[in-house]
Amino acid sequence: MRLLVTGGAGFIGSEFVRYWLKNHNQDNIINLDNLTYAGNLDNLTNIEKFPNYQFIKGDICDAKTVNNAMKGIDIVVHFAAESHVDRSILEPSKFIQTNILGTAILLESALQHKVKRFHHISTDEVFGSLDLNSSTKFNEETPYNPKSPYSASKASSDMLVRAYYHTFGLPITISNCSNNYGPYQFPEKLIPLMIINAIQGKPLPVYGDGLNVRDWIYTEDHIKAIELILEKGAIGETYCVGGESEIANVDVVKKILSILNKEEKLINYVKDRLGHDRRYAISNHKISTKLGFKPAHNFESGIKSTIAWYQNNRPWWERVLKGDYQKYYASQYEK
Ligand code: NAD
Ligand code: DAU
């Protein structure tokens, strides 16, 4: 099989590329990524010389590049996106461009090239926000109710993917996953940001009252869910994927501090995110009963191995912290 992976130099996409080449070594992977601030070829150094791996630096919004990359492809796994909610508040237009237009260009090309499967990676944020005091979880029937420019752009891309299935018969699947964490995550996101600041003895900026809840899934479990969907999922279907670990932000931060043996006085409550979704929770009922998915990691084991990775890979994040990231950090946290 020949797979076109978009966004394979990012956090989750690179986990997929590393995992797939290790476990499906008869397959070929073409990784199409334009290396935005979040794309990092350091995530792929151990596989870059594999004969069945090829990297193309290119933009999913460029139809010519996409059509060239699509030649002879059996399966598209589409990760490429602008992925950070805070940046979507600072600059929504980039999200509309990449997440909506880029997905539309990929879908059209996949249709023209008659790919056997287009798998679209989406998010639980498309469903909106849940009350803190309810036990409701998102599932495949939950109506879309996105609240941020990021989630609105992902919801739009999901709708386009469904439209290409219903209108043109493109063989699609979609997964809507909860918050990922693990090695190689860009330090703008909660968990790596808090680990790195704690290691450096810097303040940990918790938005609002810190009681917002997220469901956390270890990246490798997300990749295994995608593998199950590619191998056994039904065409046209959507699968929700969660880590079965709902935790309040401040408890995530306290956990990190306690594992690193640092004091809680490093916690700094700061101005809340605009339109901050209160709670996400997602049901694994469909993917567990239909495809046999069960996350292998609980938060306790996943956060320990994630922290150990950041402790042992200091050169990786020290390089990332240089340059543009400093400007972003200052504009987000030091205004
Ligand atoms: P990321 O920001 O770490 O990586 C995104 C990658 O896409 C980068 O390598 C970047 O260079 C590439 N990219 C961006 N714009 C591009 C363009 N125009 N052309 C080509 N490549 C481009 O993101 P991530 O956290 O790995 O998320 C990957 C996907 O998973 C996204 O679609 C995101 O919406 C979805 N998702 C993320 C999470 C999460 O918790 N991180 C949860 C659920 C779903
Ligand atoms: O739910 C899936 C989504 O999870 C993905 O689709 C997104 O791509 C991914 O970025 C993530 O979105 P969140 O907004 O939930 O993740 P983030 O790591 O930015 O924030 C997690 C929570 O922590 C959220 O409630 C905001 C809070 N937070 C975040 C940062 C960066 C803080 O309190 N302080 C911070 O500095």
What is the atom index within ligand 1 of the atom nearest the CA of 84? 2
Any ligand 1 atom below 6 A from CB of 15: no
pLDDT tens-digit readout, 48-85: 999 999 999 999 999 999 999 999 999 999 999 999 99
| Cα of 115 from ligand 1 centre, angstroms | 22
Parallel/antiparallel/unpaired status of strands 267-270 and 204-207: parallel
> Which of 122, 174, 179 maximizes ligand 2 atoms within 8 Å of its Cβ, making it the mutation to test the pocket?
179
pLDDT tens-digit readout, 95-108: 999 999 999 999 99
Token reading at 267: 């916690």
Token reading at 177: 């996953």
| Cα of 39 from ligand 2 centre, angstroms | 18
Which residue's CA lies nearest to atom 35 of ligand 2?
190
**Any catalytic annotation for residue 150?**
yes
17 pLDDT more than 80:
yes
**Any catalytic annotation for residue 124?**
yes
209 Cβ neighbours under 8 A, 6+ residues apart: 250, 269
Selection from 14, 23, 158 nearest residue 1 by Cα:
23
Any ligand 1 atom below 6 A from CB of 60: yes
pLDDT tens-digit readout, 176-214: 999 999 999 999 999 999 999 999 999 999 999 999 999
Any ligand 1 atom below 6 A from CB of 98: yes
Any ligand 1 atom below 6 A from CB of 83: yes
**Ordered domains of the chain (ranges, CATH):** 2-180+217-241 (3.40.50.720), 187-214+245-280+299-326 (3.90.25.10)
Any ligand 2 atom below 6 A from CB of 125: yes
Selection from 280, 290, 335 nearest residue 138 by Cα:
280
Residue type, 73: I
CA 319 – CA 325 distance, rounded (Å)? 10
| Cα of 116 from ligand 1 centre, angstroms | 23
Residues in the chain: 335
| Cα of 65 from ligand 2 centre, angstroms | 31
The model's pTM is 0.98
147 pLDDT more than 80:
yes
| Cα of 116 from ligand 2 centre, angstroms | 33
pLDDT tens-digit readout, 313-323: 999 999 999 97
What is the atom index within ligand 1 of the atom nearest the CA of 177? 43
Which residue's CA lies nearest to atom 20 of ligand 2?
190
> Would you place residue 335 in the very low, low, confident or very high pLDDT band (cuts 50, 70, 90)?
confident
Mean pLDDT for 302-326 is: 96
